[in-house]
Amino acid sequence: MINLAKDINIKSDYLKIIKIEKKFSQNLKKCEICGKKKFEKFQSIGRIGKPLEYGKLNIVICKFCSHKFTNPRFQDSFYKKYYKKNYRKIAFGDLEPSKEYQKFQKLRGDLVFNFFKKKINLESGHMLDHGCASGLTMLPWKRNNWKTYGIDPHEPSVELGNKKFLLNIKKAFGENLPFSKNKFDLILSLGSLEHSYDLSKSLKEITRTLKKDGLLIIRWRSSKLIGSPLEYYNHNHYRFFTKKTWNLLLKSYGFSSIKHIDKDVEGYKSYLYIIAKNAKKKIVKIKSNNHFNSEIKKSQSYVASYYKKCIEFEKLYLKNKISKKNKIKFLKKHKINLLNIGKLKAMNRFFSELISFLKFLRKYEYINESR
């Protein structure tokens, strides 16, 4: 059995990898959702730099509400520094969003708008794109008479959006929104709440700036993994939601009518969506939602099945049988839905992740293969 929560001694200097010179220390935090302090280690390794760059990454699961999150964490000043400059460079390899990235953002913005305009009872109003980067996902809202605003801490992205696309984006963090209360009819968060360094502050700011009965649209990464667990659990995501933990969180901040949407709106099976209403109810205490043992089991069985795929692919690899045709056959056999399945880049990435997973687990003796 492979247990990714095993304690190992890896020397990896995370701050050096993400090119931060100042020294920051990490502290253990209480659960972001229920505030309790009893955890079990869920996974001890993950991606800590660019894709395929793995090292020590501590993920815990709360024994009271079953929320999974990275713990310990740095102090807030670390994240502020990281997101202002380094984040995109580490995550995507360049400072300003590339032309290709811009093209995809526009396309995805259109898909999101066209889908959600039918789900909401609003023709127009004030909307905030929360963590919008260059804000290209706002363009269709703007074209359809919405008053659009964006925030993002990453300076080069914000400047590009404001200069080239004439958008109204403020350099700001979700933890401190530069807007008056009850300003927005709708807040769009396409993944931003998995990156917030302080989840509680971010949600309080959302409920403050959103009108009563205003809508929050969330995109999040499904807890149903497709590829490598070392990629899913990475240093740029501080929490790993399930539908249950989203419900707990949103209810505890006074949201109601929480609707989950299991549709690949943007063409990615790995993303899910939520619409919730800001009912402005009083913040309530969380009841125990104790399913952490089943979460751990689910994850272990996923790891075992992923490992099997790795071994199967490795056999092809060793026999020198890794043609494009064989790769496509492999994906079909295992019902793996990658976006642009024919696109070489996504496909090759999937297979290099398989091989890197094996290499890393062998190196640190997570697997013991007596041959």
Interface residues with Zn ion (CB under 5 A)?
31, 33-34, 62, 64-65, 67
When the beta carbons of 207 and 252 are compared against Zn ion, the nearer one is 252
Closest approach of Zn ion to the CB of residue 40, in Å = 11
Torsional sign, CA 328, 329, 331, 332: positive
Closest approach of Zn ion to the CB of residue 285, in Å = 12
Dist. CA 3–CA 24, nearest whole Å: 29
Contact 189, 218 (CB under 8 A): yes
Contact 27, 77 (CB under 8 A): no
When the beta carbons of 186 and 249 are compared against Zn ion, the nearer one is 249
Dist. CA 173–CA 64, nearest whole Å: 29
Closest approach of Zn ion to the CB of residue 201, in Å = 17
Closest approach of Zn ion to the CB of residue 36, in Å = 5
Closest approach of Zn ion to the CB of residue 282, in Å = 20
What's the Cα-to-Cα distance from 310 to each of 75, 107, 306, 320, rounded to whole Å? 37, 33, 6, 15
When the beta carbons of 35 and 51 are compared against Zn ion, the nearer one is 35
When the beta carbons of 73 and 277 are compared against Zn ion, the nearer one is 73
Contact 126, 177 (CB under 8 A): no
When the beta carbons of 67 and 154 are compared against Zn ion, the nearer one is 67
Max Cα-Cα span within the chain: 65
Angle between helices 292-318 and 324-333 (to 10 degrees): 150
Contact 48, 300 (CB under 8 A): no
**DSSP tag of 194:** G
When the beta carbons of 64 and 78 are compared against Zn ion, the nearer one is 64
Closest approach of Zn ion to the CB of residue 63, in Å = 8
Please, which residues bridge with residue 85 across strands?
Answer: none
Closest approach of Zn ion to the CB of residue 185, in Å = 31
Residue indicated by tokens 């290499």: 359
Dist. CA 177–CA 348, nearest whole Å: 40
What's the Cα-to-Cα distance from 332 to each of 51, 313, 329, rounded to whole Å? 24, 13, 5
When the beta carbons of 124 and 290 are compared against Zn ion, the nearer one is 290
